[in-house]
Structure 1
Amino acid sequence: MAADARCEKALGRSSSEGFFVVHHSQAPRRRLENTGVTTMLDKARLRIAMQKSGRLSEDSQALLARCGIKINLHQQRLIAFAENMPIDILRVRDDDIPGLVMDGVVDLGIIGENVLEEELLARRAQGEDPRYTLLRRLDFGACRLSLAMPIDAPYDGARGLQDCRIATSYPHLLKRYLDGQGVRFKSCLLNGSVEVAPRAGLADAICDLVSTGATLEANGLREVEVIYRSKACLIQRDGEMPPAKQALIERLMTRIQGVIQARESKYIMLHAPSDRLEEIMALLPGAERPTLLPLAGDKRRVAMHMVSSETLFWETMEQLKALGASSILVLPIEKMME
């Protein structure tokens, strides 16, 4: 899809949302809500697309906030502007995000790998050569795309789906998987409420996203096979980036790395016997070499401070105590930078 059409599809919502779209020759515009001001989207600013609402929306907003990007994300605004960095946030439907990145409308996108891969396969099926750069996988949005069938229906593997009708919102991912299994099937494309298809007589099985399986169970279905595992990811448009914008992306990536690393790490402080340090370190395999500080009035013990990337379980703390450690503190880390 052309960039103009992609932008119009993503942002061309009703006027009640306070936005309208014009051609790129005039540059995308946004109308500030409750004001008469119309402002140009500055192409020198970094443009990031993220889901307006849905399972990735809150986590995407939280990630940017933890990176120190101050954004007023009013519920009805489709475009938000960072107060402290030259960054614009476009809040759109999740299935529009890959196209916005591939068409060069935005610079970065936060999107589920399942949506990204489906768009990639769809474009290749149309003879296109879509391009983008995967910057990194993120630590949220984990889910799986699975085949599910009525609870009382037999299942003996994918080959048992020969010539079945399968309802899905991911026809290309489903086709790739079943083609690999040598299975012919009839696809029933639904953009929502896929779980009701078997009961409504529309399909024999479904292929849909699963997180806990509770929705499947509530609709009389059971998960029978996982065909794709997904997490949120950050992608960048293809092509040369202006130096200032590329530098900003690198800055942002450093912060994201710090946020994720901090979330996965703990700061550990304890007092330890000087002659048991190596044994204590062996219990903390994910830890860096510690900082050792003398304890006032106690030459046989030291204070140990360290960062550990491993989860510290109660059992480990009990083992540390058995080695003579005391005053053990395990603290969360808000930010990190190496």
Structure 2
Amino acid sequence: MTSLILAVPSKGRLKEQAEEFFAKAGFRIEAIGGARGYFARIAGLPDVEVRLLSASEIASGVISGDIHVGVSGEDLLREQAGDLDRVVHLLVPLGFGRADLVVAAPKSWLDVETMADVDDVAARMEASTGRKIRVATKYVRSTRRFFTEEGVGHYRIVESAGATEGAPAAGVAELVVDITTTGATLESNGLKILQDGVILRSQAQLAASLDAEWSPDAIAALTTMVQGMESATATSTNKLAGFLSSLAAR
């Protein structure tokens, strides 16, 4: 029986970077069944089952406890969990897959530079037209949480199915909340990031589930993995100890 289920991205740059990171730590990921397979193994860790999934599927699996530990973006993890810290521990920041989740407004809105400005405009819009300001995003939970923290009301979410940055130009929203690495795509669509509009500075994380079933062998495999990663990056966060303490308390 497999002791530890580890999930890593199945394709794209995130897959390449994850494999490079694991190899640097001494854990070479070997695909099973060819490049198009959905399973892999780690040389030297026979009790670890590696699953190749999308970053979104990994986040969902770690949160639900179907996966012990996985590599996914912090933005996806926090979006999918109502209270991430209650069910997941972020053990190792991996240093790749960096992107910011931001609030952006039209550059033509010269008097809107902050979230307080957004609240003012939204209140005036609703008072004069009866309409709430529209915010296009795929990150519904993160947007609502941030707007509440910033004291912004008088808005409604427009869930984005396509290119979020195009929503204002298409007339379906006034603001967007989107993920960006350089801001160039937002700027090319006539948008600006608000001065205090960075919701999250995200990167890929090694995330461990508190709701998974952890055997002593699974904990031993995780410990070996995290220690190897910390040794390879010359860092030690003591997050593993915190995770194990939380497991013991459940």
TM over 0.5: same fold?
A: yes
Tell me if 1:173 matches 2:142. yes
Structure 2 CA distance, aligned partners of 1:211 and 1:65? 25
Structural mapping, 1:227-266, within 5 Å:
227-238=199-210, 241-261=214-234
Measured in 1, the distance between the counterparts of 2:204 and 2:90 equals: 11
- Corresponding position: 1:200 with 2:199: no
CA deviation profile, 1:263-321 (whole Å, cap 9, x unmatched): xxxxxxxxxxxxxxxxxxxxxxxxxxxxxxxxxxxxxxxxxxxxxxxxxxxxxxxxxxx
Contact 2:2-2:49 at 8 Å conserved across structures: no
In 2: Cα distance, 1:75 partner to 1:204 partner: 43
Q: CA deviation at 1:133?
A: 2.6
Find out whether 1:148 has 2:104 as its counterpart: yes
Partner residue in 1 for 2:239: none
- Among 95, 99, 102, the alignment partner of 1:139 is 95
Whether the aligned pair in 2 keeps the contact of 1:144 and 1:226 (CA below 8 Å) is: yes
Find the counterpart in structure 1 of residue 42 from structure 2: 82
More helix by share: 2
Aligned to 1:266: none
Q: Which of structures 1 and 2 has the bigger CA Rg?
A: 1
Superposition RMSD in Å: 2.3
Which consecutive segments of 4 or more residues in structure 1 shift more than 3 A? none
SS at match of 1:197: helix
Greater relative contact order (Cα < 8 A, sep 6+): 2
How many Å separate the matches in 1 of 2:218 and 2:189?
Answer: 48
Per the alignment, residue 238 of structure 2 pairs with none
Letter in 1 for 2:204: A
- Of the candidates 48, 59, 84, which is equivalent to residue 17 of structure 2? 59
Whole-angstrom distance in 2 between the partners of 1:214 and 1:245 = 43
Report SS of the residue matched to 1:111.
Answer: strand
Partner of residue 156 from structure 2, selected from 172, 178, 186: 186
Q: Does structure 1 retain, via aligned residues, the 8 Å contact 2:63–2:81?
A: no
**Structure 2 Cα separation of the partners of residues 130 and 157 of structure 1:** 31
User: Is this contact kept in 2: 1:158–1:183, CA < 8 A?
Assistant: no
In 1: Cα distance, 2:10 partner to 2:170 partner: 30
Q: Are 1:92 and 2:53 matched, yes or no?
A: yes
Q: 8 Å contact 2:19–2:28 — kept in the other structure? A: no
Q: Is structure 2 residue 63 aligned with structure 1 residue 102?
A: yes
Equivalent-residue separation in structure 2 for 1:106 and 1:48 (angstroms): 7
> Residue 199 of structure 1 aligns to a residue in which SS?
helix
Aligned mates of 1:200, 1:258 — CA distance in 2 = 50
Give the TM-score, by structure 2 length. Answer: 0.77
Distance 1:61 1:234 in 2: 13
Once the two structures are superposed, the pairs formed by residues 1-338 of structure 1 within 5 Å of their partners are 42-44=1-3, 46-54=4-12, 56-73=14-31, 74-86=34-46, 87-121=48-82, 131-154=87-110, 155-161=112-118, 162=122, 163-180=132-149, 181-224=151-194, 225-238=197-210, 241-261=214-234
Q: So what's the TM-score if we normalise by structure 1?
A: 0.58
Secondary structure in 1 aligned to 2:22? helix
Gaps of 5+ in 2: 123-131, 236-250
How many residue pairs get matched? 215
Match of 2:247 in 1: none
Q: How much has 1:140 moved relative to structure 2? A: 2.1
Q: How high is the sequence identity, in percent, across the aligned residues?
A: 27
Is contact 2:21–2:94 with CA below 8 Å preserved after alignment? no
Structure 1 residue runs without a partner (length 5+): 1-41, 263-338
